[in-house]
Amino acid sequence: MSADLRPAWAEVSKSALAGNYSRLSRLAAPAGVMAVVKADAYGHGAVATAGVLFEAGCRRFAVALVDEGVELRRAGIDGEILVLSEVPPETLEVARSEGISVTVYTPAAAKLAAAQPDDLLVHLKLDTGMYRVGARLEELAEIAEHLRGRELQGFWSHFAVADEESPESREFTSLQLCRFEDGLARLAKLGVTPKERHIANTAGLLYHPSSHYDRVRVGLGIYGYHPGSDRSGVQLVPALSLVSKVAFVKEVEEGERPSYGRRRPLTTRSKVATVPIGYADGVPRALFTGGGEVLIAGRRHPLAGMVTMDQLVIDLGPDSDVQPGDEVVLIGASGEERIGADEWAQRTGTITWEVLCGISKRIPRRLVEECRG
């Protein structure tokens, strides 16, 4: 959707993306950084984001689906593109022809990958305790036998609780690292030496230096947010701002209850603004019940009623001079105030990742040089 056809859009800052990548790369060195750009780059726009990161020096990208990799490749994104889950057999040839690396973690998938020409790059994933996908330690010998005779590009796994600070979480992350080392040792006994080892996500990079190995896979950090509490001292800049404009302003009497469900009465005669963005665009209904606010001219204003599909209503108070056409910042900075995707997550009982990925395709993305504020 064109950014010129509706008064609601997302701005994605090139300087924030490039700056975050640069800071995280310095922290990871000598390990390389693989930028995770699956799910449309966490809602930031995969092609545009990957283009900015490529210009900043990134040469490794991770996606969830072959289709996501093909989209990047056909947009001119060079370098390695890795699919993080096993791909359907019928897409192996597409992946190979597009120069997209694949992940295997079952003997059947390893056998199919081994039957492909040698230019198909293969990574082997070990399940060290996430219990989502990945090979068991006991399966490594059979998988390695299928892959014998071809180079193994990577051996990797994924942390489950590396972002959490409790003693139990730290202990489990250490256990995952031990299992990963066990997997490497077993492969070595089988005569298999992967070119690259990788297990660290953003949390692993920030909080567990021993997990860096040869590369780190960074998602949330690239987009400017810390997983869990910020205890690393690394400054990250949120790259995305979600913006709209006031469409309509009216005075509403004290005690009236705007929007569906008539959930909350106005405590005084107030001006109420209508803003043309809603839950179909990724503004969750729970933001109202969680006490969500927006920024207009550097001031916070609460939602006056339940978020609807295409619109929300804002309580401006009795003396506001806000007019139709004034800018409304839902995520981002205005004056000295800032609302982050992490604030939305806290108010709605979810995580920052879900907030960012939830901003719908209906919202046009604009690449801008600098962040707001």
Contact assessment for residue 334 and residue 291, using Cβ atoms and an 8 Å cutoff:
no
Of 180, 211, 201, nearest to 38 by C-alpha is: 201
Burial class (CB in 10 A: 0-12, 13-18, 19+), 316: buried
Contact assessment for residue 204 and residue 169, using Cβ atoms and an 8 Å cutoff:
no
Q: Which two tokens stand for residue 130?
A: 């996430």
Neighbours of 7 (CB within 10 A): 18
Q: Which of 38, 125, 245, 271 is catalytic?
A: 38
DSSP of 283-327, one letter per residue?
--THHHHTT-EEEETTEEEEB-S---SS-EEEEEETT----TT-E
Backbone angles phi, psi at 151, to 5 degrees: -70, 135
Compute the distance between CA of residue 123 and CA of residue 40 in angstroms, rounded to an integer.
Answer: 22
Tell me the torsion sign for CA atoms 231, 206, 211, 107: positive
Q: Which two tokens stand for residue 141?
A: 């010998």
Cis geometry, peptide bond prior to residue 30 (ω within 30 degrees of 0) = yes
Q: Which two tokens stand for residue 139?
A: 């399966």
Active site residue 38: yes
Query: 218 CB contacts (<8 Å, ≥6 apart)?
Result: 21, 24, 28, 33, 34, 35, 36, 201, 202, 205
Compute the distance between CA of residue 34 and CA of residue 201 in angstroms, rounded to an integer.
Answer: 9
Of 32, 88, 324, 72, nearest to 205 by C-alpha is: 32
Q: Which of 189, 195, 250, 260 is catalytic?
A: 260
Active site residue 260: yes
DSSP-based three-state secondary structure for 177: helix
Which one-letter amino acid corresponds to residue 93?
Answer: E
Query: Which residues are known catalytic residues?
Result: 38, 260
